[in-house]
Structure 1
């Protein structure tokens, strides 16, 4: 039998833990003795600001409000969600698994120490986990914002050793858990970059690398269209860029269709809707430059920036997409058809759009949307209509141009813009519109329940409407006759689109 001192005998787990603790303590004490003049006024305050995730909540709010793009908003949301997953894992499992005492503060200068010392166990570091989870979640959606957030996250993690509340291994373990939480969330809710490229038929379109023979019409009243137009001029010096107010948009689009080999448009979904109708009639490829508040159609194409659209123009990369159609059009019986690229809806949504448009010039688009939802859900009554031959009360009728996939708990990106199908979602009437709408959003496509249903159709007939009933299409609001027929024009539109490999 080998003696305990035999070097061939493997060390016990207790001995290994003791060795690791001694190494950890040695590194902690060495760092405590070092002088860090630039860190003294920064790290303790940064450590306190990260208590309860307040620093990251503020960072996410700033990114969403001032980031200027859907990618920034998605990065902010994913960062917060990743942090929530990490915090839940730390507080329910991590802290209870290893009950480690906090470091002794004898070697830490008093000026570094926190005024309020934490009383939970030391392993792992919750602050490091939250910082790493937030930074990783942000970076998974946006590398640019991830590069901005990463130094702050590293500083927060370092501050926990600097102030003496954690051993180095506590911080490393917390950071590893935070990174793992962000990737675990991505496995459940994919990032937009993970989603497969929409299955769209490729189409022929002329290559226009410098914008020659391209006429871009800009709606001056759309969200960021004026600023985007300046970027378009810089990126495509030979393109003709025409800025106009909304009331002149239709006329300018018709003029532009006769002057170039391709039609460009800069604005929100409603503006793109008008350009798509003109491009389809004239057989021109359409170049979309996102310049609105939401830009659903552009984002489903994979176009989030002017650079994305320019890359497609330079390569001549384009696809064919379906065009949703409803009859009669928004101008009544004389307007034979109306078109939609994203969705057609009736019920609470048209009133929500009108209320949002009323408030958005005063308080901004996203706050106006929240306010509109609160007002509409409190005061509206269900719509009475005959849908596919059956009369029923409806809180919402949503008809999407193509099947919407879920990215999180709500309809998100479309994987196929030329599937020939309508994504029909109905929220039935009842006393709890908010609950019913939430249940429908969480349930997603192709489901049925007493409160909602989701099916795929080639066409939808709505009758028995009260004349003047509002409906919305691509963010625009109009009023119906007694009956509506909704269907699709398969592959009716050619659009420049960057190819994903």
Structure 2
């Protein structure tokens, strides 16, 4: 009886490493000696353009300039992924494996970089940054990722083609870059990771060519391209462009002849349209046209394509509407309503926005409001007097996933999301602590409750109240409540 015996001697770790190094060198020599038409001039320039991430920051700027929410998110995610990959490579990667750079004997002079890197070879920082940026963009938008990926691959290839890295340096760097993009997604989820909207679907009039839609656009929103694109998709829709001061009058006129009332503008403009639509019993079509567009994005409409598709198919949902009243003053809110520091910030921002622009005005307003010598708001809440820096009520529950800003997944949950920042000496420190606490129900400076109705007494005359970016004054009693599923709003079904 015989038996087969394996007499092979296991390969030692050193032998295996030597074999892998030999393969790496052969691959390097193969790329170095191969000539690709046009690559001798293109790839070295592309490699240099990626120094310090310049190429990717320029790409991110171009994406952000499109004003597309998805493109802007893709740009931000790409830059965040790049930053994490670069920090990881420079603090851990380069210091853990001190591999010398390849010899340039086989690399033609025309390909060699004018300034050779002085850091260690493993892993490739350029490849990590390129892969991180491309993967980050792709995780947010596959079409944009398909555009960026070939450029990223060319940058990675250029590092071998110019003789500054071995192929394994590039492969490991790219793997680290992709890992960084997924790590960022773990902290700040992409839209496709968020819960599916839990709003009640309702059938609304289907307008295949837009006939029956009257859309009023705020000229000051500066979105003529979006309006033209909607008109191209729905050629029989009626478009009315007007100044901000004439919006309410135009909404009333449009409601008298419309089957569907449309609006293009920011949250304040949408608020005015919703009030008219609710009073006339009309469904509302919202085309994002402001700086933030909280309501449109939370309801599920980010661009012209999504809105036109919903109108053509007749897809809509029912949403709650918030209502506030204080004496003879009353109004609606689709997003938020607040007392305290935030209304002052909105009021200050409006003073400066027309002179220096929206975002700079917001920063300046925050600095002026938080640095000013002020006292907290004095109110009576649930039978006791309480000093407050901020009382915030959201129309629906705001969720925060990771470090991402709050969003609503359900605009028909029947709840006001109430957040309170208690009074103290320094509003800036308390507001920051409350922001960090996020959805915590209790903290020394912050409280949060979910209620269907809220009543506050003892409000001083002239107190500012902000609602959907607009500001009014209230005094005495303030009542906040919900109008459940009061408004029909067009949005495409998630499955389509």
Q: TM-score, normalised by structure 2?
A: 0.92
Contact 2:376 2:424 (C-alpha < 8 Å) held by counterparts? no
Report the equivalent of 1:348.
341
Residues 138 and 357 of structure 1, relative CA distance in 2, 3 Å threshold: farther
Cα deviation digits, residues 375-402 of structure 1 (max 9, x gap):
2222262431313333333332221111
Residues 440 and 360 of structure 1, relative CA distance in 2, 3 Å threshold: same
Deviation at 1:90, TM superposition (A): 2.5
Deviation at 1:494, TM superposition (A): 0.8
CA distance, structure 2, for counterparts of residue 247 and residue 81 of structure 1? 40
Report the equivalent of 2:447.
453
Cα deviation digits, residues 428-468 of structure 1 (max 9, x gap):
33344333323322321243211222221222222222212
The answer on 1:174 being equivalent to 2:167 is no
Deviation at 1:325, TM superposition (A): 0.7
Tell which deviates more after alignment, 35-44 or 285-294. 35-44
Report the equivalent of 2:475.
481
Structure 1 gaps, min length 5: 1-5
CA distance, structure 1, for counterparts of residue 353 and residue 167 of structure 2? 49
Report the equivalent of 1:119.
118
SS at match of 1:221: helix
Contact 2:187 2:403 (C-alpha < 8 Å) held by counterparts? no
Report the equivalent of 2:3.
none
Report the equivalent of 1:364.
357
The answer on 1:82 being equivalent to 2:76 is no
Cα deviation digits, residues 208-227 of structure 1 (max 9, x gap):
12111111111222242x33
Aligned residues between the structures: 489
Report the equivalent of 1:3.
none
Report the equivalent of 2:484.
490
Report the equivalent of 1:25.
25
Cα deviation digits, residues 76-125 of structure 1 (max 9, x gap):
22112212222333334433443322211222234433344333332221
CA distance, structure 2, for counterparts of residue 40 and residue 432 of structure 1? 61
CA distance, structure 1, for counterparts of residue 238 and residue 289 of structure 2? 17
Q: TM-score, normalised by structure 1?
A: 0.91
Cα deviation digits, residues 343-386 of structure 1 (max 9, x gap):
11222222222333333334332233223222222226243131
Report the equivalent of 1:444.
438
The answer on 1:256 being equivalent to 2:258 is no
Residues 380 and 295 of structure 1, relative CA distance in 2, 3 Å threshold: farther
Contact 2:189 2:404 (C-alpha < 8 Å) held by counterparts? no
Residues 57 and 385 of structure 1, relative CA distance in 2, 3 Å threshold: farther
How do 1:206-217 residues align onto structure 2 when only pairs under 5 Å count? 206-217=205-216
The answer on 1:192 being equivalent to 2:185 is no
Deviation at 1:272, TM superposition (A): 0.8
The answer on 1:44 being equivalent to 2:44 is yes
Structure 2 gaps, min length 5: 1-5
Residues 432 and 75 of structure 1, relative CA distance in 2, 3 Å threshold: farther
RMSD: 2.3
Deviation at 1:422, TM superposition (A): 1.0
CA distance, structure 2, for counterparts of residue 356 and residue 38 of structure 1? 53
